[in-house]
Structure 1
Amino acid sequence: MRRNEINLISAVFAFFLIFCCQKAAAQYGLEFASHERELDKRTSLSIGEKEAVTLFPKTELSFDLQFKPYQHDYFGYIFRIILNDKLNIDLIYDRRPGIGNHFKLVVGDKFTDIAFNIPGEQLFYKWNPIKLVMDKDKNQLIFTCQGKTYHYSVMLNGFNKFQTFFGLSNYKQFQSSDLPPMRIKDLRIKDGQHLEHHWKLDQATGLQAEDAVGKIKGGVSNPFWIKRQRQEWRMENDYEVSGQANVTFDPKRECVYVVSEDSLVRTFLGSRSSNSWAYQNAPLHIADGSQSLFDPHLGQVHCISIDQKIVSTFDTLSRSWSKPFTYPSRGTNYLSFNKFYSPQDSSIYMVGGYGHFHYQNSVHKYHVPTQQWDSLAYTGDRLFPHYLGALGFCDGKVYLLGGYGSNTGDQMLNPRISNDLMQMDLFGGKFKKINEITFPDQNAVWASSLAVGPGQQLFGLMFPKNKFKSSLQLVSVSLDGQELQELGSMIPFDFHDIKSFADLFYSPASNRYVAVTLYFDSESNKSRVRIYSLLAPAMRYELDESSATSGTKKWVWYASGAVSIAACFILLLQFKGRRRQEDEKEKHVSPFPSVSEEPQQLPIAEATVTIPAKEEICSEDKKSAIYLFRGDIQIINAHGDEITKQFSPLLKELFSLFVVYTIYRGRGISSEKLVELFWSDKSSASANNNRSVNIAKINSLLESVGDVKISKKSGYWCLDGSEQICIDFAEYMKILQQEEKLDRVSLSKLLRILDKGSFLFETDYEWLDVIKDEISIHTTTILNETLRGLALSTDAEFIVEIANRIFHFDSVHEEAMVYKCKALVQLGYHSLAHQCFENFCQVYQQLYGESYGKSYREII
């Protein structure tokens, strides 16, 4: 993959940060999907499957190993070495308790006496070198790990070649599907002391492992590249809790605590499940404007209300809170305040906030041992009255960044965005303005916390204040405020200042950032919790070409916005092992950190109903068309003839990319990105020639379509003249970008577009995966919200149609199934309703390996 000068500097700088912090964090490598995934979604790395590797007189195979923490099952094969398709040498992990050593070497069908353990802290958080020498002269295996060397005698003279399989293996009679949740990197094969092959596994995408020394490419299925995990946020968990919720984080144990109305929920990073403590006393009616904070000294969770001057602490033994809040509360004066715990004086400090048309710049202190409150006066530079700013605390220094407020604190008097970076001298009683950071978009506000990560830089989550369907962008800020850099992909975030909350944490144990978003639905009285993680040091998702030349830092807002993620769809994503592909950061984009395969279509029985007020997709004067919601791309010329078959596979993929990026990204794709996707293995001149030749071929084929062509505008290749033809995807985007609630006509048109299926559901391009998922999520969210606003008595037919469209995207969408069954019963289709339920249960069983938890009578 080509990198420009800035990318090289960024990579060196990231390495320097980690070196300074002396972290053994995973910089690159391959992570394996294991027991948490279906059998055909687990990860495999094969070396020599097509062309066997030579077994030298003294062959050394080595690699670095690490296990993923907080997984349920670690049993399985780490590697299988197959000699001449006859003899297997296996390294397995036996998770059974009480057996002593868990790592075991197997030869043939016998356990050898080579067995050992790796301490948990070393196994989960550091790289562990593993080395196996196959010595044909001595007919001996020599195994080295943890500074210890083991020997085992075995006849090797008759063998001259071998294959190696890490994780899942489908090779001949040596098949195995059990593997531990692990990570590996730097796989090497030596002939004596001479390095013959080296698979670094340092790439971010792809289904082949590159051999840096030899010519044998490794085959990879269902990969989770670690470098990709430094670019894309991973969804760790997604669930709902009762009532309004607060969130905090324990960095030592790497767990997120969510305070809800009836329980305290704990989620360990890396674990798909959560556990909770149901309250023994009365429900906790969380006060307006309250927040939670983890006390590292006491190991307890505090819930804080500045208005009521209450800090309530949860006792996990008694499952109760120390103090109740006054309920109902009378609003708050401190919405979205910032807080931190100071170990130097065992106190909680709280800064800023908003309420009753007034912005705060006050500082409050709560001394935990004595439970005493105090209001503090600070001198120095004046702190701008605000809320929605970010605060970070490290080594006794406090940093505050941004926010929204006014000079006087009065909401009526010229409220504005603040870009001040301030330092708070905690015990000196002064504020100092470090710098003022100017962003091109003046609507930038922040998630609550600044994380101080590797290199003593500040890391925060920024988002636009003026959008509901918003998105969070991780940025790094130097301590002097001179440098700012966007890192990683975007996180979807529904922003409403009194209903939503976002926070950022840093976990030094596993060297990753943790982002949590909350959204309270007052109608259902539930809060949706979404937890994401990103490995550090985070990498830029992609640089704009202009950034490479000017060196300026650009904050790019995404006009299409980010979208909420439906709960059932995220459950489905847990079983999908497709890798995420790098996505370009452009304006009018809504990238998300989740990638999946096209969902399996649910065989729901259809009822014959009519879509109310059907609308044609485009006006009648547009004869030429491009369809993207009919499986594969379909191209219709001005005479009504389909010309898709005239496009070669490469031209069709290129044209699909131009169409999608033009409409979805808003301005096309850069030359650098094109080369990276299609011609990264060629020289610059050759890549440019290939690009020019193929674009010319596409434009020649488009002559029969009309006045459309691929051209370059403002440095980006796009489909010029797209407004002259009918493109269902363009009409789809117009509908979903409407700020107002969709009316019945727009909804009917949307259903018409989705009539044949989901977006490009028969198309499998790596660059398309993320976009397909975003569209699926956005569409499912819109349609599900629509379902909730319809009445069974009058809208039953419309409900069935909407549910059918949801099933195009999510075959186990429980709410859509319930609505459809009830609507079919309302229409008198009782057998179809029952068949719908049975089909749902069947697919649910296939996906999750367990029966659906409700009966037909219960959902009806």
Structure 2
Amino acid sequence: MLSLTRTFLRVLPLLFFVTGLFAQKVSTVPDYGLSFASHEVIKDQRTSLNLTPEAPFGFDNGFELSFNLSFHRLTNAYGYVVRIIANDSVNIDLLSSPEHSEFHDMGIIVNNKQTDIQYEFLDVKLQPALWTPVRIAFSPQTNQITVTWNGVKKTQAFPVSQLKTFRFFFGANDFGRFNTADVPPMSIKDVVLRDNDKVAAQWELKRHAVNEVYDSQKERVAFVKNPTWLIDQHTKWVHRKNFVIGKYPGVAFNGKDGILYASDVNGVYTLNLQHGEIQFEKITAGNAVHTDANQLLYVEQRHALINYDVFTNTLSHYNPERHTWTNHDTAYHEPNYWHNNKFYNAATGMLYAFGGYGFFSYKNAFWQYDTVAAKWVNLKTKGTIPPRYLGASGVTSKGDKVLIFGGYGSQSGKQELSPQSFYDLYTFDMNDHSVKKLWEFPEGHSTEDLVFSNSLVINEADSCFYVLSFPKNKYESHIKLRRYALRAPETEVLADSIPFRFHDEHSFCDLFLSRATNELVAVTAHKEKGQYKVDVYTINYPPLRTQDVQQQPVTASAAGYYVVLAFGIGAIVLFILLRKKSKAPAVQANIPVHDAAHDIDFLKNLHEEKPVATVNLFGGFQVFDKTGHDITGKFTMTLKELFALILLHSVKNEKGISTTELQEYLWPDKDEVSARNNRNVNIKKLRTLLEEIGNITIENNNSYLRLDIGPEVFCDYQAVFKILNADSSAVPENQKIELLLKYVKRGSLLPNLQTGWLDNFKSDISNRVIDALLAYSAKLDTYKDDKLLLDIADAIFNYDTINQEALVIKCSVLNKKGKYSLARTWYDHFVKEYKNLYAENYPKTFDDVIS
């Protein structure tokens, strides 16, 4: 191997001095809005938004419609931004017509006649993808229509006082003689209707159903055809590119410009995410290090690529103009620091490496490249990390500290001695070389041996980081994006999954943040027939869970629920009294007697408008204190699990859970004394938090811990459990189901808590909910009870995404309501999910499902 020249060694530190590395900001606010398909697709596939599908608005004293508007392009942009139909006979259109010589770029058209309200795009300084505010006001007092677009106000006289009802259509519409398929290439968001300066309805166009979106009060539904929801781009990975490279692959990323680099034995590939083009530069001299453990690093300010290997003491620099590497050693070397982590200090120009695997041993040494001696030096650190590989690392915003998370290894470093997955977080200070452990998940955190992408992305604004995870011991598997808290061992899965084949040195994956495109970038590679297939995926930043964007409609009015509640409570009370009269139940010592009055008070709290202490487990763990403030963030992962353990056992079994059982679940690796100490400390912390909630306490009866929930505190799991157990002869089934739907439609039980003991609770409640809903749905009429049936299907899908009975209900009802395309969309989505899960085609056709 040829060493770097002395001249290059002197300038190398400058390559790492990146003064503006963190100056480029990325948005931590999700994009949202509705994107409209325009002339690029056939008419049947263009987008429409109907704000008044059921009935028009009535405004006696005028109104104002406001929204934010963005054009995808300024050419071939003809179409109706919004069509307002008054009295079902007069059309007032905001029409885009930028390429017509007889019309302005944008203007108001009334009954097919131009008005004085006309704009040129230059008037409002319009640019593609720029959000601009639009306000359209109708004043019966002055008989004027006023439009204000990006601060430019224009007015037209019109007999507004004669107009009483109004319908609103964005894009295409099929309303009688006013129907149109001319849609401009646009996006809209934050639609607001004001009546006398009071908000009459507001659609953010953020959370949404499939082809419906409700206003902020969930009182008005708007129908959408062929939608593209911008916020969905934060929940779904997009497969951007795949290509094939040769031996000794390496991957690096230029976040500032959004460029991915991949190197192999033959050359360097560049993929520009901003325009999707990929280029290949063949090496004319030198080469990347010939080992599967080589790593590629991009240095931003100097546009420099560095290729290195710790074991062979190699560091090679790439010249993009000459297409050369400074390394000329062509001998193959077995990997010894395979899947190690890399990071550098921009202020000092020092390059570091940590961990790795090779020759049946896991590594935990920190290495620093000495630019003067031209070699890797083993650092002495203050503190250590257990040996590992397949962990993730990322540099903090100040550039002086590194987060090192997880991986697979062993305490001894020997592969033969109890290898395991690590779920712990450390910091490494690149100035004083100190190592500090921040937190660790308890043993048994995951039933799979999860490992992680080589890099993680830190979001300090939200006190979290993102990393890709996948099971180490599966070849055909899926990568999942996870969000971890910086201050405590808490995690949740985001977005959908990415297919991945993992086979040690023949596979790898990495995660990057593209500041140029505001996206997370996932890169996977696996070996096929002597070459590596590389796949690139992106998702808008910040990533979200699917449930973060789903909008569940209200299934009944508040008044309706009060009626149902009154009948339900009365029936329950009557049933309990009759049971007590006929037979007095035996009561075990030290076990609380079931109190009917407690149930009644508890149920009354469900519909109080004032803030109430609440514990929600369906759709995710969430806790509100007695003043209505969200205190979920105060629960660490251990306290969440402890709380859930005691609560679920207390609801299902009045004795609660034994202390022995509790210790076996939470601290199985501790001896009796340590486990008891951990239990006592955490129960004390939990009791402090329960005091903030209110009348909820932990009782200790003969080594059993039981949660006593007072009438001032509402728990959705407790409510669902009571509803499912209510005797059908005492509680009318329709009341029982409507109450049940109110809670289970939020989502499944504790979806973000993954632990073995919880599986039985999840399975039990899911089966009971699904069975109850399906049994009741069989008694309903498809036409008369269509809305209730759709609610039932949506609720079932929360618990079983490929439930075939729910699919039949959903598609049949939609089809009979005339929503054929929406039914087909649901069917296609189901078929795709079925294929992903079972690796086979769904046996029923769409016609079979709706028949």
Shorter-normalised TM range: 0.5 to 0.7
Label 1:73 to 1:427 Cα distance change in 2 as closer, same or farther (>3 A): farther
Aligned to 1:358: 361
SS in 2 for 1:491: strand
Please say if residues 379 and 431 of structure 1, whose CA atoms lie closer than 8 Å, have aligned partners that are also in contact: yes
d(CA) in 2 for partners of 1:140, 1:115: 21
- 2:355 aligned with 1:296, yes or no? no
Q: Give how far 1:441 is off.
A: 2.4
Matching residue within 384, 394, 410 for 1:392: 394
d(CA) in 2 for partners of 1:765, 1:371: 67
d(CA) in 2 for partners of 1:770, 1:160: 42
Q: Give how far 1:549 is off.
A: 9.4
d(CA) in 2 for partners of 1:120, 1:484: 44
Give the 5 Å matches for 1:25-40.
25-26=29-30, 28-33=32-37, 40=44
Please say if residues 667 and 718 of structure 1, whose CA atoms lie closer than 8 Å, have aligned partners that are also in contact: no
- 2:513 aligned with 1:506, yes or no? yes
- 2:314 aligned with 1:309, yes or no? yes
Matched letter for residue 452 of structure 2: W
CA offsets 1:552-607 (integer angstroms, 9 cap, x no match): 85999xxxxxxxxxxxxxxxxxxxxxxxxxxxxxxxxxxxxxxxxxxxxxxxxxxx
d(CA) in 1 for partners of 2:766, 2:159: 49
CA offsets 1:757-787 (integer angstroms, 9 cap, x no match): xxxx99958776555214445788x9xxxxx
Label 1:72 to 1:119 Cα distance change in 2 as closer, same or farther (>3 A): closer
CA offsets 1:782-833 (integer angstroms, 9 cap, x no match): 9xxxxxxxxxxxxxxxxxxxxxx99999xxxxxxxxxxxxxxxxxxxxxxxx
Aligned to 1:488: 495
Q: How does the TM-score come out when normalised to structure 2? A: 0.57
- 2:337 aligned with 1:334, yes or no? yes
Aligned to 1:176: 181
Q: Give how far 1:424 is off.
A: 0.3
SS in 2 for 1:380: coil
Please say if residues 140 and 151 of structure 1, whose CA atoms lie closer than 8 Å, have aligned partners that are also in contact: no
CA offsets 1:4-32 (integer angstroms, 9 cap, x no match): xxxxxxxxxxxxxxxxx995723654344
Give the 5 Å matches for 1:66-105.
66=70, 75=77, 77=79, 79-84=81-86, 87-90=91-94, 92=96, 104-105=106-107
SS in 2 for 1:26: coil
CA offsets 1:719-778 (integer angstroms, 9 cap, x no match): 99x9xxxx9xxxxxxxxxxxxxxxxxxxxxxxxxxxxxxxxx999587765552144457
Aligned to 1:43: 47
CA offsets 1:362-399 (integer angstroms, 9 cap, x no match): 3334589x895542413222222221001121122211
Aligned to 2:648: none
d(CA) in 2 for partners of 1:214, 1:540: 19
Q: Give how far 1:285 is off.
A: 6.2
Matching residue within 235, 239, 244 for 2:238: 235
Label 1:416 to 1:690 Cα distance change in 2 as closer, same or farther (>3 A): closer
SS in 2 for 1:233: coil
Please say if residues 257 and 515 of structure 2, whose CA atoms lie closer than 8 Å, have aligned partners that are also in contact: no
Give the 5 Å matches for 1:406-421.
406-421=410-425
d(CA) in 2 for partners of 1:276, 1:545: 45
Matched letter for residue 90 of structure 1: L
Label 1:186 to 1:360 Cα distance change in 2 as closer, same or farther (>3 A): same
Aligned to 2:65: 61
Aligned to 1:201: 205
Q: Give how far 1:175 is off.
A: 2.2
Label 1:361 to 1:213 Cα distance change in 2 as closer, same or farther (>3 A): closer
Label 1:764 to 1:484 Cα distance change in 2 as closer, same or farther (>3 A): same
Aligned to 1:274: 276
Aligned to 1:773: 832
d(CA) in 1 for partners of 2:335, 2:430: 25
Q: How does the TM-score come out when normalised to structure 1? A: 0.57
CA offsets 1:87-115 (integer angstroms, 9 cap, x no match): 4523538599xx9x997335357695423
CA offsets 1:199-227 (integer angstroms, 9 cap, x no match): 23232423122134695531112233455
SS in 1 for 2:363: strand
Identity of counterpart residues, as a percentage?
23
Q: Give how far 1:446 is off.
A: 0.8
Give the 5 Å matches for 1:517-596.
517-523=524-530, 525-536=531-542, 538-539=544-545, 548=621
Label 1:47 to 1:303 Cα distance change in 2 as closer, same or farther (>3 A): farther
Matching residue within 475, 481, 484 for 2:482: 475
CA offsets 1:377-429 (integer angstroms, 9 cap, x no match): 13222222221001121122211111112344343444332333211011101
Please say if residues 471 and 493 of structure 1, whose CA atoms lie closer than 8 Å, have aligned partners that are also in contact: yes
- 2:351 aligned with 1:345, yes or no? no
d(CA) in 1 for partners of 2:268, 2:802: 53
Label 1:291 to 1:35 Cα distance change in 2 as closer, same or farther (>3 A): farther
d(CA) in 2 for partners of 1:716, 1:25: 29
d(CA) in 2 for partners of 1:426, 1:286: 26
SS in 2 for 1:379: coil
Please say if residues 134 and 142 of structure 1, whose CA atoms lie closer than 8 Å, have aligned partners that are also in contact: yes
d(CA) in 2 for partners of 1:214, 1:362: 57
Q: Give how far 1:544 is off.
A: 7.3
Q: Give how far 1:519 is off.
A: 2.4
SS in 1 for 2:504: coil
Q: Give how far 1:440 is off.
A: 3.0
- 2:455 aligned with 1:449, yes or no? yes
d(CA) in 2 for partners of 1:105, 1:233: 37
Please say if residues 479 and 498 of structure 2, whose CA atoms lie closer than 8 Å, have aligned partners that are also in contact: yes
Matched letter for residue 431 of structure 2: F
The RMSD of aligned alpha carbons is 5.2
Gaps of 5+ in 2: 1-24, 549-615, 624-634, 642-736, 742-747, 749-753, 782-797, 806-819, 846-851
CA offsets 1:443-489 (integer angstroms, 9 cap, x no match): 12111112111423222222211111222233332323433333333
d(CA) in 2 for partners of 1:243, 1:451: 28
Larger Rg: 2
SS in 2 for 1:45: strand
d(CA) in 2 for partners of 1:72, 1:497: 49
Aligned to 2:133: 129
d(CA) in 2 for partners of 1:467, 1:292: 26
Label 1:500 to 1:526 Cα distance change in 2 as closer, same or farther (>3 A): closer
Q: Give how far 1:129 is off.
A: 3.1
Aligned to 1:383: 385
Q: Give how far 1:505 is off.
A: 2.6
SS in 2 for 1:772: helix
Gaps of 5+ in 1: 1-20, 557-649, 655-660, 679-687, 699-714, 728-760, 783-804, 810-860
d(CA) in 2 for partners of 1:238, 1:526: 14
Matched letter for residue 449 of structure 2: N
d(CA) in 1 for partners of 2:346, 2:374: 16
- 2:428 aligned with 1:424, yes or no? yes
SS in 1 for 2:120: strand
Please say if residues 490 and 636 of structure 2, whose CA atoms lie closer than 8 Å, have aligned partners that are also in contact: no
d(CA) in 2 for partners of 1:521, 1:696: 54
Aligned to 2:776: 693
SS in 1 for 2:339: coil
